Amino acid sequence: MRNHIKTLTPLAGTIIAAAALCGLAFAQTGLTTIQDTLYKADGTHFSGSLTIQWSTFDAVNIGTIVQQSKTVTVVNGNLLVQLAPNAGIAAPGNIYTVTYQSDGSQQFTETWTVPVSAVPLPVAEVRTGAMTSSGGGGSAGNSTSIPESAVIGLVADLGQRPSKGPGFGVGAVAVINQNGQIETVVGNVGDCVYVDGTAGSCGGQTSQFFDAEIPGGIVDGANSSFTLVNPPSASSLALFRNGLYMLAGQDYTLSGSTLQFNVAYPPPQPGDTLVANYRIDPSTSDVGGVVGAVQGGGTSSGGETALAQVLCSGNGRSTVAAAWVSLGTCDIPAASLNPGDRIEVRFNFAHGGSASAFDVQVNWGNTTIVARHGSMQDVAVAGELEASLSATGAQLSMQSWGTVLSFLPGIVSAPAQSGVQVNILGEISNAGSDSLSLGGYTVLRYPQH
């Protein structure tokens, strides 16, 4: 008996082999197959490569998928790739970032979310977002806009950085609030910052000594009352008459800064010399008069002059645009806007060129305080404004002037705000012809004292 052997045709062998390969591919537990034919807009097949990137995530029925990337070659439009399902996974592992390259350049980028599927899926069923195409070969004029969520690990890394809190400001000491945000310590110049982020008077002050002071008063044999510049601290006064030490309570009495000699003894006679040595406690004593006279200006009841706190200071930016451009800003937190405080803003602009006019503007929050139009002949414009703060808002007085621009004063009221941004803007009338620069600006705070 002859055995008959059936011979397979080449086509049948190819089909069986392909089926066997597909069976092996689909048998990989938990993976989803993305299979599609990709075309260009002119109808021809896309040929190139896809770079697929992902963050670490835990896939169902597979395990931990570590952060990595994979490059898939596409020949004559044929795309075949298997990926672990990431649908329903928390960010940042819930997206695949897919970048298409062809003809030696990056074409575009899109994101995929892959569900669990036992059958192959086309790209349209996994695509979740697309990004701006670069459309070129890497020239300076081409760029690709990529959202933060598409950059592997960026969102998580940014989440580790401290952010601005509601009390954030500039030009002062920073402190971390209870939510891990950065805020600015609020206080007066000369205050100390405590470990809890608050500010107040500095402890550990040392006594001040006054030696060889001559008490004020007429030495005529009749006057028995004399005055010291400052009230001495308890038991620190050493008073001498013609070099002899005087006993307190016996030879004289002290009340505040007034010396009263005992009427039982002759008062200081013409030619007598009075000398006093003593110390004062700066936390309780008034060194007034003296400090105020030296520093000048208005003094508080304690004789100390209120000093300015620099909130912002520096050089601004420049513009050649025929549109409003912010050239400098200063964010003032609500904690620095207390009733009775005073905010002062000083600024100066420099105009480069003589072919175009320009405009400048200063805003206090949503309120425009200064708005001036400079001519082609104005080389510079300067000005200053002062905000007097109250519980209901601020009253702002201002003045500005230029090389040719006339002097202009004014007063404007602004409502109370939870934090204020001082925004200094400028624009050129004819774009590109001239330049306008914020040469410098300073924002000062004078706290209520």
Instruction: Give the pLDDT of residue 168.
Output: 80
- Token readout for 74 is 């596409």
Segment 220-230 shows an average pLDDT of 90
The answer to whether residue 170 sits within a structural domain is no
Segment 163-176 shows an average pLDDT of 79
C-alpha 238/C-alpha 241 separation (Å) is: 10
Residues 6+ apart with CB under 8 A from 424: 316, 326, 327, 328, 329, 347, 360, 361, 362, 363, 438, 441
The answer to whether residue 167 sits within a structural domain is no
Instruction: Give the pLDDT of residue 15.
Output: 45
Higher per-residue pLDDT: 287 or 328 = 328
Residue 291 has pLDDT above 70, yes or no: no
> Do 220 and 328 belong together in one domain?
no
> Do 269 and 333 belong together in one domain?
no
> Do 367 and 411 belong together in one domain?
yes
Q: Look at the chain and count its residues.
A: 449
The fraction of the chain above a pLDDT of 90, given in percent, is 45
Segment 298-310 shows an average pLDDT of 51
C-alpha 35/C-alpha 74 separation (Å) is: 11
Domain around 422: 309-446
> Do 258 and 351 belong together in one domain?
no
Instruction: Give the pLDDT of residue 294.
Output: 31
The model's pTM is 0.41
> Do 270 and 333 belong together in one domain?
no
3-state secondary structure of 6: coil
> Do 388 and 272 belong together in one domain?
no
Higher per-residue pLDDT: 216 or 23 = 216
Instruction: Give the pLDDT of residue 181.
Output: 83
> Do 221 and 328 belong together in one domain?
no
Residue 142 has pLDDT above 70, yes or no: no
> Do 440 and 313 belong together in one domain?
yes
The answer to whether residue 375 sits within a structural domain is yes
3-state secondary structure of 17: helix
CA 381, distance to chain mean position in Å, is 28
Q: What is the number of structural domains in the chain?
A: 3
Neighbours of 88 (CB within 10 A): 10
C-alpha 184/C-alpha 186 separation (Å) is: 6
The answer to whether residue 190 sits within a structural domain is no
Do the Cβ atoms of 422 and 443 come closer than 8 Å?
Answer: yes
CATH of the domain at 339: 2.60.120
Residues 6+ apart with CB under 8 A from 136: 105, 142
Instruction: Give the pLDDT of residue 134.
Output: 47
Radius of gyration of the chain (CA): 40
The answer to whether residue 361 sits within a structural domain is yes
> Do 21 and 133 belong together in one domain?
yes
Q: What is the DSSP letter of 104?
A: T
Higher per-residue pLDDT: 180 or 216 = 216
- Token readout for 211 is 């030696």
Residue 196 has pLDDT above 90, yes or no: no
Residue 49 has pLDDT above 70, yes or no: yes
> Do 240 and 126 belong together in one domain?
no
Whose CA is closest to 210, among 238, 241, 235? 238
Query: pLDDT per residue over 241-275, tens digit each?
Result: 998 999 998 999 999 889 999 988 899 999 999 99
Higher per-residue pLDDT: 422 or 147 = 422
The confidence band for 131, taking pLDDT boundaries of 50, 70 and 90, is low
Query: pLDDT per residue over 394-418, tens digit each?
Result: 999 999 999 999 999 999 999 988 8
Q: What is the DSSP letter of 322?
A: S
Residue 147 has pLDDT above 80, yes or no: no
The answer to whether residue 131 sits within a structural domain is yes
> Do 275 and 144 belong together in one domain?
no
Instruction: Give the pLDDT of residue 180.
Output: 80
Instruction: Give the pLDDT of residue 1.
Output: 44
Whose CA is closest to 397, among 349, 420, 426, 364? 364
Segment 421-448 shows an average pLDDT of 90
Residue 287 has pLDDT above 90, yes or no: no
The answer to whether residue 263 sits within a structural domain is yes
Query: pLDDT per residue over 306-357, tens digit each?
Result: 567 788 888 889 999 999 999 999 988 887 788 888 999 999 999 999 999 9
> Do 261 and 357 belong together in one domain?
no
* Per-chain mean pLDDT for the chain: 81
Segment 52-81 shows an average pLDDT of 91
The answer to whether residue 179 sits within a structural domain is no
Question: Is the C-alpha dihedral spanning 293, 296, 298, 303 positive or negative?
Answer: negative
